[in-house]
Each structure stands twice: as C-alpha cells, then as structure tokens.
Amino acid sequence: MTDAIEIPERSGTAFTLKQGDTLVVIDPRGEQVADLLAFNAEDLNEVISSGRTLDYAETIYLTTDHILYSNRSRPMLTIVDDTVGRHDFLLTPCSFDTFHHFYPDLPPHRGCFGNLATALEPFGVQPDRIPTAFNCFMNVPIDGETGRLKVLPPISKAGDHVTFRAEMDLIIGLTACSAPDSNGGTFKPIHYRIEAACSPVTTRVATQTDTRKSR
C-alpha cells in the first residue's frame, strides 16, 4: 500500500494501475469532486465509457459493486467500496469553455479537461480522446419527469472515499476539480492511495499443480 498522495486544488495527475490493484480516491476535507479517467494501458483506443456503463448498470447513480466498462464493453474498474453513494457519470470534465459558458465573470481556468490533457500527454493521450469522466463525489440530481439536472455541492464529508479495483492494466487520470458549483464554491485537494494486488506468482504455481493432478 502506498501512502496517500495529494493532488493540489485545481490540478490533476496521471499514473498506471495494474490489473488487481485497488485505487482509493479520498475527499480529505469534504465537498470536493475528483474526475477519473481510465485507458487500457496496452491500447489507448480502449477507454472508459459512460454510455456503456450506465446502460449495463441500468442506473445513473453508481456505487459499490457497479462496474465501469470500456467502449469495448469490457470491465475496466469495479467499485469495491464507497462511503458516499453519490457520484456523476453524465457530465464532461470542466474546461476553459465551461468557464466561458457558466462563469463569464470569473477568471477562466483550464479546468479538469486541461489538467487531464497535460497529465495524460506523456502517456500518449491526445486531448480529443478525453471522454466523459467518472466524477467521484459530484452531486448531479435529475428531475425524473422533466430530465432537468442540477449541479449541487457534493454530499461527501471529510475522509469519505470511493475504492476501485482495476480489471485490466490501466492508465488513470485523476483531478481535484476546478469548477465552483461542483465543489460547493471552494477548491480543495484530493488524496489517493494505491494498494497493490497480491503477487500472481502463487496463483500460477497453484494452477499448474492442479492441472497435473487432474491428468
């Protein structure tokens, strides 16, 4: 297990996650969103898909035991623990254009989109390949009759977390979101921790032994 790593306010990072590793995304102060992206580490054309995931889950509110699927309908991440139960997978990462649209009087910021593009560039991900992110802790209630959505402050409290298990080798992008409305009007850091999978060597040996026995 690594120590918790801090993503400073209004910034982002990218890193690799091996199949079987778990990623714990922590809201250390409460009411702070973290945008999460996942790409297949072996093939950047395979990427996390909101549409596939919401279709298979048959809900827009994802929590423990839900699987985040790729555009090829393969599991990328499984939510294995969730102390909040309210996240968003509808809205794209905030960007310069988001600021022009919603906050024309505020200084523009490159937002999660710009932070993700910069962090993922060394891994070969081009900005136009960035899809809808899984927005940890983002609170977007929907009126079931009208379809109207609202962006409200997260319901996460200090220390709340959501934990994902990698179902394939992944490149992960992760931010501390920069948009005022998504974060209750203030910008806070995000923490994350990686817990490595158990060594696969033991499993392989056991499998070989079993095969020999069965012959």
Nearer to Zn ion, 108 or 200 (CB): 108
Contact residues for 185 (Cβ-Cβ < 8 A; gap 6+): 153
Closest approach, Cβ 103 to Zn ion, in A, equals 12
- The sign of the dihedral angle between the CA atoms of 126, 2, 85, 59 is positive
Which alpha helices (DSSP H) does 11-73 contain, by range?
50-57
Site for Zn ion in 104-143 (CB under 5 A): 112
Residue 62 in the binding site for Zn ion (CB under 5 A): no
Closest approach, Cβ 23 to Zn ion, in A, equals 18
Strands 160-166 and 134-136: unpaired
Residue 177 in the binding site for Zn ion (CB under 5 A): yes
Q: Please pick, from the candidates 34, 91, 119, 179, the single residue that binds Zn ion as defined by CB under 5 A.
A: 179
Which alpha helices (DSSP H) does 65-190 contain, by range?
96-102, 111-120
Using CB under 5 A, which of the segments 39-47, 89-97, 136-144, 157-165 binds Zn ion?
89-97
Q: How far apart are CA 89 and CA 35, in angstroms?
A: 9
Closest approach, Cβ 60 to Zn ion, in A, equals 18
Q: How far apart are CA 203 and CA 112, in angstroms?
A: 39
Nearer to Zn ion, 22 or 32 (CB): 32
Instruction: List contacts with Zn ion (CB under 5 A).
Output: 94, 112, 177, 179
